[in-house]
């Protein structure tokens, strides 16, 4: 999984229901990612690692800090996405093209940020999994 797709927004012609549905799916996905990150954080604190591993403590501390950052970011994105999902209904009230453009641009920007976060987090999890495979004690 070395190549990640760039974000492309196709929201200009979507209905309000489609925009809300998409944003609610993003929220659900972000909540799942946050739970996964919290579980990985739990694993970094478990006594499951080979203690003879070189730089084990330092590497785990690095991963713990990165997990903290990503958990915080996912929580903020969930809040932002919930706020935006609630604002989607206001799009109906846009009578002017400038208002409509502003709303769609804000929607695209949030989706792009979620997309980038998801891609970066997937790469981070992949690196963490590889590291875990090399340091977890086996029977």
Q: Which residues contact 16 (CB under 8 A, 6 or more apart)?
A: 88, 89, 91, 92
Annotated domain spans of the chain: 16-46+55-128
The SS3 assignment for 136 reads: strand
| Alpha-carbon gap, residue 84 to 90, rounded angstroms | 10
Confidence of residue 4 (pLDDT cuts 50, 70, 90): low
Write down the mean pLDDT value for the chain. Answer: 90
pTM of the model: 0.88
DSSP 48: -
Confidence of residue 129 (pLDDT cuts 50, 70, 90): very high
Cα dihedral 81, 121, 125, 48 sign: negative
pLDDT of res. 2: 55
Torsion of CA 18, 22, 24, 28, to 10 degrees: 150
Residue-wise pLDDT for 68-101, tens only, equals 999 999 999 999 999 999 888 777 666 677 777 7
pLDDT of res. 29: 98
| Alpha-carbon gap, residue 139 to 131, rounded angstroms | 18
Residue-wise pLDDT for 96-112, tens only, equals 777 777 888 889 999 99
């Amino acid at each position: 999984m070395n190549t990640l797709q760039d974000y492309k927004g196709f929201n200009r012609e979507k209905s309000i229901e489609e925009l809300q549905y998409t944003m609610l799916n993003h929220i659900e996905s972000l909540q799942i990612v946050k739970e996964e990150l919290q579980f990985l954080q739990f694993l970094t604190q478990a006594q499951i690692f080979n203690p003879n591993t070189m730089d084990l403590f330092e590497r785990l501390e690095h991963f713990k800090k990165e997990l903290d950052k990503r958990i915080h970011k996912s929580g903020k994105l969930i809040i932002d996405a919930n706020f935006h999902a609630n604002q989607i209904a206001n799009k109906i009230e846009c009578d002017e093209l400038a208002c409509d453009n502003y709303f769609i641009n804000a929607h695209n920007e949030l989706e792009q940020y979620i997309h980038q976060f998801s891609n970066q987090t997937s790469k981070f999890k992949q690196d963490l999994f590889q590291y875990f495979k090399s340091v977890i004690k086996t029977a």
